[in-house]
Amino acid sequence: QVQLVESGGGLVQPGGSLKLSCKPSGFDAGGHAIAWFRQAPGKEREALSCSSIWEESPPYSEAVKGRFAISRDGVNKTVDLQLDSVIPEDTAVYFCAAGPLRCGQFWNQPARFTSWGQGTQVTVAS
Protein backbone atom coordinates (compact mmCIF):
# COMPACT_ATOMS: atom_id res chain seq x y z
CA GLN A 1 0.00 0.00 0.00
CA VAL A 2 1.45 3.31 -1.09
CA GLN A 3 1.59 5.73 1.80
CA LEU A 4 3.25 9.02 2.65
CA VAL A 5 3.25 10.32 6.19
CA GLU A 6 4.30 13.84 7.10
CA SER A 7 5.58 14.83 10.52
CA GLY A 8 7.31 17.71 12.26
CA GLY A 9 4.69 20.41 12.03
CA GLY A 10 3.80 22.70 14.89
CA LEU A 11 3.87 26.23 16.20
CA VAL A 12 6.99 28.29 15.48
CA GLN A 13 7.80 31.94 16.06
CA PRO A 14 8.57 34.28 13.17
CA GLY A 15 12.22 33.97 12.25
CA GLY A 16 12.40 30.47 13.66
CA SER A 17 13.05 27.08 12.09
CA LEU A 18 11.23 23.81 11.70
CA LYS A 19 12.04 20.52 9.99
CA LEU A 20 9.33 18.55 8.28
CA SER A 21 9.75 14.91 7.30
CA CYS A 22 7.94 12.81 4.74
CA LYS A 23 8.09 9.05 5.19
CA PRO A 24 7.15 7.14 2.06
CA SER A 25 6.24 3.45 2.24
CA GLY A 26 4.82 0.77 0.00
CA PHE A 27 6.87 1.81 -3.03
CA ASP A 28 10.41 2.61 -4.09
CA ALA A 29 10.69 6.29 -3.24
CA GLY A 30 14.09 6.39 -4.95
CA GLY A 31 12.35 5.87 -8.27
CA HIS A 32 9.97 8.78 -7.82
CA ALA A 33 10.05 12.51 -7.45
CA ILE A 34 8.88 13.59 -4.00
CA ALA A 35 7.57 17.13 -3.69
CA TRP A 36 6.41 19.35 -0.88
CA PHE A 37 3.31 21.50 -1.21
CA ARG A 38 1.35 23.64 1.19
CA GLN A 39 -2.15 24.98 1.38
CA ALA A 40 -3.32 27.89 3.47
CA PRO A 41 -7.01 28.45 4.26
CA GLY A 42 -8.84 29.87 1.27
CA LYS A 43 -5.84 29.49 -1.03
CA GLU A 44 -4.80 27.05 -3.72
CA ARG A 45 -2.29 24.31 -3.08
CA GLU A 46 1.19 25.76 -3.64
CA ALA A 47 4.26 23.82 -4.74
CA LEU A 48 7.37 24.51 -2.67
CA SER A 49 10.12 22.17 -3.84
CA CYS A 50 10.79 18.79 -5.39
CA SER A 51 13.43 16.10 -4.95
CA SER A 52 14.53 13.48 -7.45
CA ILE A 53 17.65 11.34 -7.32
CA TRP A 54 18.00 11.92 -11.06
CA GLU A 55 18.33 15.70 -10.75
CA GLU A 56 21.04 17.50 -8.82
CA SER A 57 19.45 20.87 -8.18
CA PRO A 58 15.99 20.83 -6.65
CA PRO A 59 13.66 23.60 -7.78
CA TYR A 60 12.07 25.97 -5.29
CA SER A 61 9.18 28.36 -5.49
CA GLU A 62 10.06 32.04 -5.30
CA ALA A 63 8.17 32.29 -2.03
CA VAL A 64 10.55 29.96 -0.22
CA LYS A 65 13.80 30.08 -2.20
CA GLY A 66 16.70 30.78 0.11
CA ARG A 67 14.68 29.95 3.23
CA PHE A 68 13.57 26.34 2.73
CA ALA A 69 15.71 23.36 1.77
CA ILE A 70 14.65 19.92 0.60
CA SER A 71 16.79 16.85 1.17
CA ARG A 72 16.67 13.08 1.24
CA ASP A 73 17.74 11.26 4.39
CA GLY A 74 19.18 7.94 3.32
CA VAL A 75 19.32 6.59 6.85
CA ASN A 76 15.74 7.34 7.87
CA LYS A 77 14.40 6.98 4.30
CA THR A 78 12.64 10.32 4.48
CA VAL A 79 12.37 13.39 2.31
CA ASP A 80 12.77 16.39 4.55
CA LEU A 81 11.93 20.04 4.22
CA GLN A 82 13.92 22.41 6.41
CA LEU A 83 12.08 25.66 7.06
CA ASP A 84 14.24 28.59 8.15
CA SER A 85 13.46 32.28 8.68
CA VAL A 86 9.77 31.50 8.70
CA ILE A 87 7.21 34.25 8.35
CA PRO A 88 3.48 34.32 9.22
CA GLU A 89 2.66 33.77 5.55
CA ASP A 90 4.23 30.32 5.84
CA THR A 91 1.29 29.22 7.98
CA ALA A 92 -0.40 26.36 6.14
CA VAL A 93 -0.92 22.64 5.99
CA TYR A 94 2.17 21.09 4.42
CA PHE A 95 1.86 18.02 2.22
CA CYS A 96 4.33 15.71 0.54
CA ALA A 97 3.48 13.89 -2.64
CA ALA A 98 5.01 11.25 -4.90
CA GLY A 99 5.11 11.70 -8.63
CA PRO A 100 6.96 10.61 -11.76
CA LEU A 101 10.62 9.71 -12.01
CA ARG A 102 11.84 13.31 -12.28
CA CYS A 103 10.63 16.64 -10.99
CA GLY A 104 11.03 18.12 -14.44
CA GLN A 105 9.79 21.36 -15.88
CA PHE A 106 6.27 21.02 -14.51
CA TRP A 107 7.21 20.00 -10.99
CA ASN A 108 4.92 22.64 -9.51
CA GLN A 109 1.72 21.13 -10.89
CA PRO A 110 -0.16 19.08 -8.27
CA ALA A 111 -1.82 16.93 -10.96
CA ARG A 112 1.57 15.30 -11.72
CA PHE A 113 1.69 13.78 -8.26
CA THR A 114 -0.45 10.73 -7.74
CA SER A 115 0.04 9.90 -4.07
CA TRP A 116 -0.35 12.36 -1.22
CA GLY A 117 0.09 12.41 2.51
CA GLN A 118 -2.49 13.73 4.96
CA GLY A 119 -0.52 16.86 5.74
CA THR A 120 1.02 18.46 8.80
CA GLN A 121 0.03 21.87 10.15
CA VAL A 122 2.64 24.61 10.43
CA THR A 123 1.65 27.76 12.28
CA VAL A 124 3.95 30.77 12.42
CA ALA A 125 2.97 33.12 15.22
CA SER A 126 4.54 34.95 18.13
Alpha-carbon gap, residue 81 to 9, rounded angstroms: 11
Nearest-angstrom CA–CA distance, 57 and 120: 25
Average pLDDT over the chain reads 95
Which of the four pLDDT bands, split at 50, 70 and 90, describes residue 111?
A: very high
Does 31 score more than 90 pLDDT?
no
pLDDT band at 125; cut points 50, 70, 90: very high
Residues 6+ apart with CB under 8 A from 62: none
